[in-house]
Amino acid sequence: MGRLVMKFGGTSVANIDRIRNAARHVKREVDAGHDVAVVVSAMAGKTNELVEWCRDASPMHDAREYDAVVASGEQVTAGLLAIVLQGLGIQARSWQGWQIPIRTSDAHASARILEIDGADLINRFRERKEVAVIAGFQGINPQTGRITTLGRGGSDTTAVALAAALEADLCEIYTDVPGVFTADPRVVPTAHRIPRISFEEMLEIAATGGRVLSLRSVEFARNHHVPLLVRSSFTWEPGTVVTEEDPSMEQPVVSAVTHDTSQAKITLSGVADRPGIAAALFRHLADRSINVDMIVQNISHHGTTDISFTVPRDDVEASREVAASMLDTLGAAEVVTDEGVATVSLVGAGMKTHPGVTATMFETLAAEGINIEMISTSPIRISCMVRAEVAERAVQVLHGAFELDAPS
């Protein structure tokens, strides 16, 4: 018997029938004798609806009241799941983030978890075998006493952080796909489920377009050594285990091909080529909380250079404003934005010891007439920026070139 945290995403609790299905998964683990805490998202589409209500009420709404509104979606789901579990004869109680409490920073809409006190939940496990059903995505700032929300992927992060606080044996993430795949199955029908993957590989997949787990949740799991199991709430397939890298096992050269169409490229042309120019630009972007991914600076020509970088498409306008406000400071001629781009990435721990991966990637794309605009690498990842309209074709040919297609 162990201790589990089970997290159900929005599609898994989209209506009462699906909440009943989630309850059956919980009952299976309770019947096996495990202590169980459940973290739930809002019903599919509900958070987006609440966000739109805030925007309709006032485009310049108070962030604290925004959090008070959007946190309500998870609260509804938690209460409904607790009611269904009680109907199955299971001791269950719903909890909001502030009741546990989940203490966070005061960055409303993007708060970070500081501490979780799991003592009360552990006592209830011992005394009455009570299932805790917890509203994900939310917490409380201890200084202000206000509800906070954690931003995109916040329920995943809640689940992993709770698993760490409860010293759980496993954190199960239930979603609408049966695990982590070698590519998006909607793009590559021959993609197949990966039975086991390392935290480092999963971090790269999450950062380059894989939407199964949020990046923050994987970072938290790696830092706190929380093993994850990603599985479907609609099937009984075994899913994908995400855990520490096993040095005794031979790693595949490439584990997955990912793509991301949510990025945009910004180019400053005619930038003065002198020390401190790039530092000033990226400091101003950081001060606006804008995450920059790829960066390319061209070779200086007659004392000027071009700087290109990528940002999330949601941050294009803010990035353009920052760059435009600095044209005189940077000695730049103009700012050009390009939203018609995408990144295609290879991820695999085996890249560290296998030469030739980059050459094969470039040769494969060249054979398809796909031009590479920017390149970014890590020890276990290679990312190329291409035109958005050819991104899916790039994924397909790379998936085949590295022999990732499922056996027929």
| 21 Cβ contact partners less than 8 Å away, ≥ 6 residues apart | 12, 233, 234
Q: 250: how many CB neighbours lie within 10 A of its CB?
A: 9
Mean pLDDT, the chain, rounded, equals 92
**Residue type for 105, please?**
S
CA distance 3 to 365: 47
Q: Is the pLDDT of residue 408 over 60?
A: no
* Band of pLDDT at residue 1, cut at 50, 70 and 90: low
| 342 Cβ contact partners less than 8 Å away, ≥ 6 residues apart | 259, 260, 261, 263, 385, 386, 387, 388, 391
C-alpha distances out from residue 123 to 119, 128, 309, 377, Å: 6, 8, 51, 47
Q: Is 276 exposed, middle or buried (0-12, 13-18, 19+ CB in 10 A)?
A: exposed
What pLDDT does residue 8 have?
97
Task: Give 3-176's CATH code, choosing from 3.30.70.980, 3.40.1160.10, 3.90.76.10, 3.50.50.60.
Answer: 3.40.1160.10
Looking only at the bridges linking them, the beta strands covering 381-387 and 374-378 are: antiparallel
Q: 320: how many CB neighbours lie within 10 A of its CB?
A: 16
Whole-structure pTM value: 0.88
What pLDDT does residue 95 have?
97
Which one has a higher pLDDT value, 210 or 359? 359
What proportion of the chain, given as a percentage, has pLDDT over 90?
74
Give strand ranges (E) for 233-303. Answer: 240-243, 256-260, 263-272, 295-297
- ∠ CA 400-374-383, nearest 5°, is 40
Q: Is 254 exposed, middle or buried (0-12, 13-18, 19+ CB in 10 A)?
A: buried
What token pair was written down for 192? Answer: 């197949």
* Band of pLDDT at residue 240, cut at 50, 70 and 90: very high
Task: Summarize the confidence of residues 18-22 as an average pLDDT.
Answer: 97
What pLDDT does residue 245 have?
82
State pLDDT tens for residues 210-224. Answer: 888 999 999 999 999
Q: Is the pLDDT of residue 30 over 60?
A: yes
What pLDDT does residue 288 have?
86
* Band of pLDDT at residue 72, cut at 50, 70 and 90: very high
CA distance 331 to 394: 37
* Contact indicator for 235, 179 with CB cutoff of 8 Å: no
Nearest to 63 by CA among 311, 289, 291: 289
CA distance 217 to 213: 7
What pLDDT does residue 200 have?
94
Q: Which of 209-218, 317-326, 338-347 has the highest mean pLDDT?
A: 338-347
75-89, 175-189, 248-262: segment of lowest average pLDDT: 248-262
Helix (H) or strand (E) holding 220: helix 215-224
Looking only at the bridges linking them, the beta strands covering 3-8 and 263-272 are: unpaired
What burial letters (b/e) apply to 364-395, b meaning 16+ CB within 10 Å? bbeeeebeebbebeeebbbbbbbebebbbbbb
What token pair was written down for 275? Answer: 């020390």
* Contact indicator for 8, 41 with CB cutoff of 8 Å: yes
What proportion of the chain, given as a percentage, has pLDDT over 70?
98
Task: Summarize the confidence of residues 350-362 as an average pLDDT.
Answer: 88
What pLDDT does residue 300 have?
65
Q: Is the pLDDT of residue 299 over 90?
A: no
CA distance 353 to 193: 24
State pLDDT tens for residues 105-161. Answer: 999 988 999 999 999 999 999 998 999 999 999 999 999 999 999 988 899 999 999
Query: Which residues on neighbouring strands pair with residue 263, listed in sequence order?
Result: 312
**SS3 state at 145:** coil
What pLDDT does residue 363 have?
96
